[in-house]
Structure 1
Amino acid sequence: MNLNFVGVDLYRGFNLVTSIVPSSTVKNVLQGVRLEVRDGKAELTSTDLEVLVRYTLPVKDYTGEGGIVLPAVRVNNILREWSGNDEISIVVEGSNCTIKSKGGYFKVVGEDFGQFPEIYANDIKGFIEIDGEVFADMVGKVAHAVSTVRARSTLCGIFIRIGKDDITMAAADGNRLSTVKRKVSNPDGIPMEGIVTVKCLTFLQRFTSECKGALKVGIGESQIRFKGESGEVISQLIDGQYPKYEEVIPKENDKRVEINRDELLSTVRMASFMTSEGYRVVKFVYRKDKLILLSKAMDIGETELEIAASYDGPELEISFNPDYVLDVLKVSDNDVVTMELKNASDAAIFKTGYEQLNVIMPVELK
């Protein structure tokens, strides 16, 4: 089998699938990337047994069909150095591979591609279609709120629900909640939902940057599948029932504040300078037409900062972890952020974009 590629095309595809390869595993074959030629197409595949990616490479020309599993990291390093070359040739003979380009060649020992594990999406009944960049952007809106505590496994992923004409994502860690919703076409009207790992969705953001255009999404009982023009991603879902996050969203927050996003982002960041690693607290004091931020930490110092705010209610003090507030402001689409509050002890709502909502629990002062 002899294949010829444009250097940058081969490296971009190989580098993409290599990011799924596990750094350590009991099966050596999983630390490789399967290169297979069939039906006139060159296909790269990698998996960690939870996420599988297939990517179709553009080939200049080829002879023969077959495949090999190549050591991912070593070959990726070679291709990176040659990515600017007009042509890279790959010659496969059994379990041996020769990679040639201008200036020399590498002989690499591979493995039998027939030993590479497969993951099939067998229980998915239908698909919706959404622009890949829109889907990736939705992931970016909520990923910061995912729990990192393994004991709460259902909160360690992003909940995705597909309805008749919309798709919703939600993430929460017990102290905060982020949700975003977008319109989609669901011609079959099949409702679907599942909890997807952060690893899968973070990788999908890279995948959609390479496979631009429409993305088909289908969710089954235990898997989610994404299909793009140049490949697909299949992932196992996280087992369990996602909490009823809608019940966490406050319904009686009667105090409304509007503030310029960039000014608030800068001021909260500055206030966070006067907090300690073990005590991340900034006090928000709302007064007529202004917001005052106060922070103080022993052996560090203190600060008081003031910015303009559209507020006409009674004075209110409420304390937040500044990191939580910064996270939602960084992914805001709006120039103006709306906060809906009740009192010092109840959760606050931050509205940061179209169909984009964040709930943050206040911090009790020590």
Structure 2
Amino acid sequence: MRVFINKNVLESIITNTNPYLEKRDLSAITSHIIIQAKDSVLNIKATDYEIGLAYKLSNVKIIDEGTATANGKKLLDIIRSLKDDEVQLETLNNYLYIKQKNSKYKLPMYKFEDFPEFPTTQNKNKFDVDAVMFGRSLKKIIPSIDNSNPKHELTGAKIDIKQDLINIVGTDTKRLSVFSLQTQTQNEFSLIIPKKAITEMQKLFFDKIEIFYDENILIAQSQNFEFYTKLINGKYPDYDKVIPKEIKKRIKLNRDKMIEGIKTISMLSDTMKITMNSQTINFESVIEDNSEAKTQIDCETELDEEIYFGVKNKFLLDFLSNIEDDEFYLEFNNNNLPFVLTSKELKTVIMPINI
């Protein structure tokens, strides 16, 4: 194989594929990316068996066709060190040579025949969705997804495909976020996408994309790339039961004022008590030692009686940092029951803490 490629293009692709590599066992073929020049197209792939990413490049000068593998991290370090100029990739005697003017590097290759095959879209269902909106919705619910939980399904997001509606759901059992995406759908179905895959999907979903799925795999394809992730098998909690069906009070609040109040308390404490009356909202730290933080903002709540609840600061800030509007709604029934934050398509239910 012998090809010439723009340094910045190659660096961008190798950077994007690095999260898909096996990091613990460097002797595994999946610690390598595979580079294949064939039929005037350069294919670059990476996978750790759980998720995978492949790029197709046609704007590349292919002198000789062939296939190479290279340790993804080492290759990225090399490419980053080069100047903004054309790079030559060449295979010889089971080594990949990376050349640019007077600089030359050599990396050992593994057997490319051992590289895992990517899944195909054959016999899989398909749904069309606005890629930008889908990526945006995943970003909004990802803070609510648990990082580690014995129930593996809680470490992913549920994609609940209904009639002309897709609900994207994340929960860590202390809070639950739902983003409702209005879109035409063909089949009702639900699947659970791992959190790691969601993190990578947000970097990719900005182009026209087709999504295919079955009970085990989700595949996203665009003109330039193909992404896949294995899905989590498990029974996701019935999120509809968590969302209160009846609400006694709904208060409109200013996002920036609330953020200011929360951050004041966060200087000393990661939990707080919020007390609301008809004219003000009071924020007070919840700390075991004798330190204390308090602040207050003016707000016309139209409450008939004072209400209060304890909450983790982070839960509120995660929601407020993921909305675009200047105002949002707080919905509640009683002090000791879950309360709801809403802004357009995003809804987050939060369990209060005992204070």
Which of the five TM-score ranges fits, normalised by the shorter chain? over 0.9
- The residue aligned with 1:156 is 155
Aligned partner of residue 302 in structure 1, secondary structure:
coil
Asked if the contact 1:285–1:292 (Cα under 8 Å) also holds between the matched residues in 2, the reply is: yes
Identical aligned residues as a percent:
21
Q: CA deviation at 1:198?
A: 0.7
Question: Is 1:324 aligned to 2:303, yes or no?
Answer: no
Q: Matches of 2:75 and 2:345 in 1, distance apart? A: 44
Q: CA deviation at 1:185?
A: 3.8
Bigger shift: 108-117 or 340-349? 108-117
The one-letter code of the counterpart of 1:338 is Y
Q: Which runs of structure 2 are paired with 1:151-300 in the superposition (5 Å)?
A: 151-186=150-185, 189-208=186-205, 212-275=206-269, 280-299=270-289
- Per-residue Cα deviation, 1:40-66 (whole angstroms, up to 9, x for no partner): 211111111111111123443112322
Q: CA deviation at 1:123?
A: 6.6
* Structure 2: runs of 5+ lacking an equivalent: none
The one-letter code of the counterpart of 2:202 is Q
Q: Matches of 2:307 and 2:354 in 1, distance apart? A: 15
Aligned length: 354
Asked if the contact 1:172–1:178 (Cα under 8 Å) also holds between the matched residues in 2, the reply is: yes
- The residue aligned with 2:292 is 302
Q: CA deviation at 1:178?
A: 0.4
Q: Which runs of structure 2 are paired with 1:1-366 in the superposition (5 Å)?
A: 1-25=1-25, 28-82=28-82, 84-121=83-120, 125-186=124-185, 189-208=186-205, 212-275=206-269, 280-299=270-289, 301-313=291-303, 314-351=305-342, 353-365=343-355
Aligned partner of residue 73 in structure 1, secondary structure:
helix
When residues 303 and 235 of structure 1 are mapped into structure 2, their CA distance, relative to the original with a 3 A threshold, is: same
Asked if the contact 1:95–1:109 (Cα under 8 Å) also holds between the matched residues in 2, the reply is: yes
When residues 300 and 91 of structure 1 are mapped into structure 2, their CA distance, relative to the original with a 3 A threshold, is: farther
Q: CA deviation at 1:93?
A: 2.7
When residues 18 and 57 of structure 1 are mapped into structure 2, their CA distance, relative to the original with a 3 A threshold, is: farther
The one-letter code of the counterpart of 1:15 is T
When residues 44 and 90 of structure 1 are mapped into structure 2, their CA distance, relative to the original with a 3 A threshold, is: same
The RMSD of aligned alpha carbons is 1.7
Aligned partner of residue 157 in structure 2, secondary structure:
strand
When residues 122 and 226 of structure 1 are mapped into structure 2, their CA distance, relative to the original with a 3 A threshold, is: closer
Asked if the contact 2:41–2:60 (Cα under 8 Å) also holds between the matched residues in 1, the reply is: no
When residues 232 and 343 of structure 1 are mapped into structure 2, their CA distance, relative to the original with a 3 A threshold, is: same
Q: Matches of 1:50 and 1:124 in 2, distance apart? A: 20
Asked if the contact 2:121–2:212 (Cα under 8 Å) also holds between the matched residues in 1, the reply is: no
Bigger shift: 122-131 or 28-37? 122-131
Q: Matches of 1:238 and 1:223 in 2, distance apart? A: 9
When residues 222 and 185 of structure 1 are mapped into structure 2, their CA distance, relative to the original with a 3 A threshold, is: same
TM-score after normalising by structure 1 = 0.92
Asked if the contact 1:50–1:236 (Cα under 8 Å) also holds between the matched residues in 2, the reply is: yes
When residues 45 and 60 of structure 1 are mapped into structure 2, their CA distance, relative to the original with a 3 A threshold, is: closer
* Structure 1: runs of 5+ lacking an equivalent: none
The one-letter code of the counterpart of 1:120 is P
- Per-residue Cα deviation, 1:279-307 (whole angstroms, up to 9, x for no partner): x4211111003211111424461122111
Moved over 6 A (4+): none
When residues 190 and 252 of structure 1 are mapped into structure 2, their CA distance, relative to the original with a 3 A threshold, is: closer
Asked if the contact 1:289–1:308 (Cα under 8 Å) also holds between the matched residues in 2, the reply is: yes
Q: CA deviation at 1:2?
A: 1.1
